[in-house]
Amino acid sequence: MSQAHDHAITIRPPGIGTRVVSSLHRFVKKLADEPLGMAGFIVLAVLVIVAILAPWLAPYDPSIQSLENALKPPSLVHLAGTDEFGRDILSRLIYGTRITIQTVLSISVIVGPIGLLIGIIAGFTGGRTDAILMRATDIVLSFPALILALSLAAALGAGLNTAIIAISLTAWPPIARLARAEALVVRNADYVAAARLYGASPLRILLFYIAPMCIPSVIVRLTLNMAGIILTAASLGFLGLGAQPPAPEWGAMISSGRKFMLDYWWVAVMPGIAILLTSLAFNIVGDTLRDLLDPRHARS
C-alpha cells in the first residue's frame, strides 16, 4: 500500500518543451501520410538550408562581374549560365533565396499576429469595437495591394524594406477576417461559457481559449499567402521597386533578363523556375497544413 503511494505520479502541467515535442511528433506522424505535402515541406526545408549555407554552396561570388563570360549558356562551368555582366546565375539564385526567405518571414511575422489580434478582438467583443475594426479592415481590403505597394515604394524610396512594409500593410485584412469568423463561432461554445462561469477574465478567455482555436486556420492562410507574397515581392523587384541591384532578387533578375529573353532565355527562365518552385511549394504546404490542422477539411 505504502509502495503505491511512493510511486504515485505527481501531476504537473507539462512544460513548454515537452508540449512542443509532443505536438511536433503528432504532426510529423500525420504528415507521413501525405506524400505531396511531404514533398512541399522538403522543398521548403531545402530552400531554408540553401539560404543559410549560401556562401558555402554558391560556386561563385554573386556580384563579381566578368564581362568576357557574359551571357554564357548553361554548361558544366556555369550550371545555370551567366547574365549580361558575366555573373553566375546559379550563385545569384542561391543568394536570392536569402532575400526571398527574409521577405516571406518578415511579412508573415508582421502580418500574422496583427491580423490574428484584430480578428479575435473584433469577433470576441462584438458590438461597436467589432464594427470599427471591421470597417477599418474593409477599407484596407479595398486597396489594390500592388498599387499601394507601388505608391509606398515611390514615397519611401525603393528597397527591400519598403517592399516588406508595403506588402505587410495590405496583407493583414484577409487574416483578420478569417480570425474574426473563427472567433465568432468559438465565443458561443460551451467551454467559453464554462470559463465565464468559473471566473476567467475576458483577456484570459481571449488569449487562452479563443486564440488557440483561431491560430491553425491563420497559419494555413499565412502559408497559402506566402506564395502570393513571393509573387508580389518578385513583381516589385521586376518593376525596380523591390531589392535594388546588385542584390540578386529573383524578380529583379527576371526583369534584367527580359531584355535578352529571345536570344539568351536562361537569364530570365532560371529565376522564373526558382519563383515557380518556391511558390508552388508554399501552396502545397499550405494545402497540407489545412488538411492536418483543420479537422473540418479532414479527408475521408
Site residues for other proteins per CB under 8 A: 8-9, 11-14, 189-191, 193-201, 204, 209, 212-213
Cell numbers linked to 31: 504528415
**How many CB atoms neighbour CB 82 within 10 A?**
27
Closest CB 200 distance from other proteins, rounded Å: 4
Closest CB 182 distance from other proteins, rounded Å: 13
Q: Are 289 and 220 in contact (CB under 8 A)?
A: yes
Closest CB 192 distance from other proteins, rounded Å: 8
Name which of 9 and 76 has its Cβ closer to other proteins: 9
Type of residue found at 1: M
Q: Are 99 and 160 in contact (CB under 8 A)?
A: yes
Q: Are 293 and 219 in contact (CB under 8 A)?
A: yes
Name which of 77 and 193 has its Cβ closer to other proteins: 193
Q: Are 182 and 123 in contact (CB under 8 A)?
A: yes
**How many CB atoms neighbour CB 35 within 10 A?**
10
Name which of 209 and 282 has its Cβ closer to other proteins: 209
In a 13 Å sphere around the CA of 31, the CA atoms on its Cβ side amount to 18
Name which of 14 and 157 has its Cβ closer to other proteins: 14
Query: At what angle are helices 89-125 and 35-52 packed, to 10 degrees?
Result: 120
Closest CB 38 distance from other proteins, rounded Å: 24
Residue-level length of the chain: 300
DSSP state of 82: B
Closest CB 9 distance from other proteins, rounded Å: 6
Cell numbers linked to 290: 489545412
Cell numbers linked to 176: 483578420
Name which of 190 and 263 has its Cβ closer to other proteins: 190
CA 216 – CA 186 distance, rounded (Å): 13
Name which of 205 and 268 has its Cβ closer to other proteins: 205
Name which of 148 and 181 has its Cβ closer to other proteins: 181
Name which of 45 and 189 has its Cβ closer to other proteins: 189
Closest CB 8 distance from other proteins, rounded Å: 8
In a 13 Å sphere around the CA of 261, the CA atoms on its Cβ side amount to 8
Q: Are 92 and 245 in contact (CB under 8 A)?
A: no
Closest CB 187 distance from other proteins, rounded Å: 12
Closest CB 209 distance from other proteins, rounded Å: 6
